[in-house]
Structure 1
Amino acid sequence: MRISTEEDRCVAAGHCVVAAPEVFDQREEDGVVVLLDPRPPAGARAAVEEAALLCPAAAIRLVSGP
């Protein structure tokens, strides 16, 4: 699984950080999403999927495969 984020769409809600703090963070100055791990381990999949579903701006994209 690969993850990408669209910083220009992010509304700094922080739901991604709450759902998957090992994968997402927020910039201190404006709260915009920071992707910590674009290829997280398989064990993080459920948390990452939840983060994508919770994102009010749909700024998180998941791509299956390597």
Structure 2
Amino acid sequence: MKYGDLTVTKLSKLSGVKPWIVKRELDFLSKSGYIDLIEGGRSTIVKLNYSNQKVIILMNLLQEIEEL
């Protein structure tokens, strides 16, 4: 992934979306098994769940697109 693990704040800044909206969507993705949210003090780290087959397929697709 281009940016690796991100905090909710960093993801919000990169996307231009308000942090509470980002957090709401990340909670959905976490419950669906696509990402892991790691609570740590004042920040939450977002990590892709590479054990999820759909995440692996999506990462492979994005890599192929970059190679075009």
Q: Which has the larger radius of gyration?
A: 2
Same fold (TM over 0.5): no
TM-score range, shorter chain: 0.3 to 0.5
Which has more helix, going by share of residues? 2
Normalising by structure 2, report the TM-score.
0.35
Larger relative contact order (Cα-Cα within 8 Å, sequence gap ≥ 6): 1
